[in-house]
């Protein structure tokens, strides 16, 4: 159980760091280079903050956490497409894939912890 908890919080911490860092990057010239609409910055920032709150606060119900995982998954897939479409190298475009792996690990270990708690 202790190992599962550590893996869960480590992978969730990685996701939190990446989402916070990506919010910072949205307000740099790197974002402007992708020619995405400006309103998307605000929209993504708001939903990333809400998703992080849901993931990091244990009292939120599992169903809300699942929606947060789904939202972050869509965000990471969209990041792959946006980077590739803006002309980034394939290696740079696939960077979010590694963070998707952390998202999957976090989700798997959340379910493991909930299952152990139910027993």
Average pLDDT over residues 37-51: 92
Q: Binning pLDDT at 50, 70 and 90, where does residue 119 land?
A: low
pLDDT tens sequence across 51-84: 999 999 999 999 999 999 999 999 999 999 988 8
Q: What share of the chain is helix, strand, coil (3-state, %, to 5)?
A: 80, 0, 20
- Into how many domains does the chain fold? 1
On the question of pLDDT at 7 being above 60, the answer is yes
Cα–Cα distance for residue pair 67/112, rounded to 1 Å: 18
pTM score of the predicted model: 0.89
User: CB pairs under 8 A, 24+ apart, for 28-34?
Assistant: 33/86, 34/82, 34/83, 34/85, 34/86
| pLDDT over threshold 90, residue 47 | yes
pLDDT tens string 78-111? 999 988 888 888 888 888 999 999 999 999 999 9
Question: How high is the pLDDT of residue 26?
Answer: 87
Structural domain harbouring 68:
2-118
């Amino acid at each position: 159980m202790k190992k599962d908890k550590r893996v869960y919080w480590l992978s969730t911490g990685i996701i939190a760091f990446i989402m916070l860092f990506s919010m910072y990057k949205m307000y740099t010239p790197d974002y402007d280079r992708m020619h995405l609409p400006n309103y998307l910055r605000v929209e993504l920032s708001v939903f990333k903050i809400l998703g992080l709150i849901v993931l990091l606060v244990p009292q939120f119900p599992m169903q809300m956490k699942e929606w947060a995982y789904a939202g972050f998954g869509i965000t990471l897939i969209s990041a792959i497409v946006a980077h590739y479409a803006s002309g980034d190298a394939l290696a740079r475009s696939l960077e979010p894939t590694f963070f998707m792996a952390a998202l999957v690990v976090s989700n798997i270990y959340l379910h493991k912890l909930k299952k152990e708690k139910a027993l």
